[in-house]
Amino acid sequence: MSIHQINNEHLSIQKVEEIITSGASVELSESAANRIQVCRDYLDNKLKSGEDVFYGINTGFGSLCDTVIPREDLSKLQKNLVISHACGIGDEVPTEIVRLMLLLKVQGLSYGHSGVQLATVKRLLDFYNENITPVVYQQGSLGASGDLAPLAHMSLPLFGEGFVDDNGVRISAKEMLNKRGWEPLTLRSKEGLALLNGTQFMSAYGIWVLMKANKLTRNADLIGALSVDAFDGRTNPFFENVNVIRNQKGQIETAKNMREFLKGSEIASQEKKHVQDPYSFRCIPQVHGASKDAIQYANEVFEREINAVTDNPTIFPETDEIISAGNFHGQPLAIALDLLGIALAELGNISERRTYQLIGGKRGLPAFLVANPGLNSGFMIPQYAAASVVSQNKQLATPASVDSIESSNGQEDHVSMGANAATKAFKIIENLEKVLGIELFNAAQAISFRRPLKSSPVIEKMLVRYRENVPFVENDKFMQPEIEKSINFVKSL
């Protein structure tokens, strides 16, 4: 098994995906472990005098920030913080997201500005490496003082509270510790706050969505190209010159993809009776391209975030400073997630419109893509299904980041709602996979009516694989299993 070592090197989204897909174990480099220990030692020495007051280290939290806590209660303070903040509700966070939360929390703590014990970070790594997944809930974070509630649930098992999935088996955290002979950790000053303050819930969702989005944008182009040929569309809108003069990066990239996907198509090269195509075909470079540009922006924001320190207060041993600020505030992520959700929803929006055009009985295609419409409803209702999902995505794409609600007696008077933006984006991309699966289902059916003409080698190769999973529909049949197989095919592309 490969090993990823956490050090001071930049962690890219691509690298995160490699770590996850390879099943690599994760460990701290010597330099990272040293940074963590130096910061902890500095904090311990700083607190020895008992004279200085630092938010969350020897005070209460939120609006209780002016309440000084006796030194002998500092450990209890941190444990109380974690337990009291574990108020998550709603559906459970998927296992793959929680594992990302663990990985990203360790990454953030490894920079040596958080004051945690080395043992705490190593225990989080033990959870990751031994496939121990804390049970975390989707709702409860305002994305303001970090992802307080979700990260509290992630942290409970460190000292034997809460529940975990231990290699897929649900047990109590106490049972998990006993099973391995691990002692529950005793949190020291600042540690609970370091664990709970931070954007790892939002970040984990965002990274997961982006890993999918970076693939789906190209898949959307490929499926769109199939639909263009199935609809006997023109390729003029994809010419290089007309797209270059628009000077939009995503548009230029999309047009290039379309030219590559349609190169060598007999259908595309035949003479056309129509002068132009509907926007859902003709404007693929402009619409897909705009989504690509938005996704790229989100990539940049999230890649910066996972290489950042986002808890509070922040400790600087080298300059003898402990600074209470707001790096936990999720606004950069919330706005990026909202934009990401809109970009993904639009990919689904235009996809459904192409599906709608394909079933309309135009350009030599039979109505609803069956040879005997009337007796057969054919592909009428798959378009309904796509339309319902697209409509839901439009609702989900309403920005979360423009909302705010006061909390903690007015101390936290502006919040990002980034956690809601994150879970919405997750749902939107799952819906996008469904919409693209239905477009592919329709386009593959439609292009069969263009035979014996062939599409391009790239598209024909994809169709061969597709037909191994989803057959041509001769007459009405139970469609849901075929749609499901089509969706799974999109996921596998």
- Of 369, 341, 344, 375, which Cα lies nearest the Cα of 356? 369
Q: pTM score, two decimals?
A: 0.95
Looking at the structure, tell me whether residues 276 and 387 fall in a common domain.
yes
User: Is 448 exposed, middle or buried (CB count within 10 Å of its CB: 0-12, 13-18, 19+)?
Assistant: middle
CATH number, position 122: 1.10.275.10
Looking at the structure, tell me whether residues 390 and 259 fall in a common domain.
yes
Active site residues: 55
The average pLDDT across 110-134 equals: 97
169-172 sheet: strands from edge to edge: 132-134, 163-166, 169-172
Looking at the structure, tell me whether residues 220 and 135 fall in a common domain.
no
Looking at the structure, tell me whether residues 51 and 187 fall in a common domain.
yes
How many percent of the chain have pLDDT more than 70?
98
Domain tally, the chain? 2
The pLDDT value recorded for residue 411 is 77
Q: Provide the pLDDT confidence category of residue 37 given band limits of 50, 70 and 90.
A: very high
Looking at the structure, tell me whether residues 74 and 186 fall in a common domain.
yes
Domain boundary among 131, 164, 198: 198
Looking at the structure, tell me whether residues 308 and 161 fall in a common domain.
no
Q: Which of 1-10, 103-112, 161-170, 429-438 has the lowest mean pLDDT?
A: 1-10
The average pLDDT across 179-204 equals: 95
How many percent of the chain have pLDDT more than 90?
89
Looking at the structure, tell me whether residues 360 and 245 fall in a common domain.
yes
- Of 474, 472, 391, 440, which Cα lies nearest the Cα of 222? 440
Do the Cβ atoms of 383 and 359 come closer than 8 Å? yes
Domain boundary among 169, 198, 227: 198
Domain hosting 23: range is 3-198
Domain boundary among 198, 228, 258: 198
Q: Provide the pLDDT confidence category of residue 153 given band limits of 50, 70 and 90.
A: very high
Cα angle vertex 305, ends 221, 249, to 5°? 30
Looking at the structure, tell me whether residues 412 and 266 fall in a common domain.
yes
The average pLDDT across 399-425 equals: 91
Looking at the structure, tell me whether residues 219 and 348 fall in a common domain.
yes
Looking at the structure, tell me whether residues 211 and 298 fall in a common domain.
yes
Tens-digit pLDDT profile for residues 248-259: 999 999 999 999
The average pLDDT across 432-437 equals: 98
d(CA 106, CA 101): 9
The pLDDT value recorded for residue 183 is 97
Looking at the structure, tell me whether residues 186 and 315 fall in a common domain.
no
CATH number, position 455: 1.20.200.10
Looking at the structure, tell me whether residues 361 and 461 fall in a common domain.
yes
The pLDDT value recorded for residue 61 is 67
User: Is the predicted pLDDT of residue 428 greater than 90, yes or no?
Assistant: yes
Cα angle vertex 154, ends 40, 199, to 5°? 75
